[in-house]
Amino acid sequence: MKAPIIAALACFATSAIADGAADIYQGNFLGAFALTATCAGQELQVHLMANRVAFGETSCTISQVLTDGVGVILDLATCNAEGEPTDDHRVTLTMSETGRLTYGSTATGTTELLRCTDR
């Protein structure tokens, strides 16, 4: 009888963590980012949306949002690069106290970005 209760509690805990991570993501990370705060004319722009992420010419659907205690982890799926399907991957996002976003990706490496102020 203990196993079903433990399994139910584990499922509840995972769901609660995922829900909290989504709140952190949507409350702190949504928006447009680039190498400088002026995004106009920047070739590399990252757009963090509620259900999608666009990194330059690559766009993916967010399949899961987790937290690592420092920032958030996004599992990205259904990715397209310049209109062609590409591999799913994982992104980690952290925000410094000065507002610099660290975007770490299994597909593109790590990039530090600033929130766009011209949007």
Say how many CA atoms lie within 13 Å of 85 toward its Cβ: 3
Q: Give me the tens of pLDDT residue by residue for the chain, a chain 119 residues long.
A: 443 333 333 333 333 335 689 999 999 999 999 999 999 999 999 999 999 999 999 999 999 999 988 899 999 999 999 999 999 999 999 999 999 999 999 888 999 999 999 98
Residue 5 has phi, psi (to 5 degrees) of: -65, -45
| Single pTM value for the model | 0.81
pLDDT for the residue 6: 33
Contacts of 48 (CB under 8 A, 6+ apart): 25, 29, 30, 31, 32, 33, 93
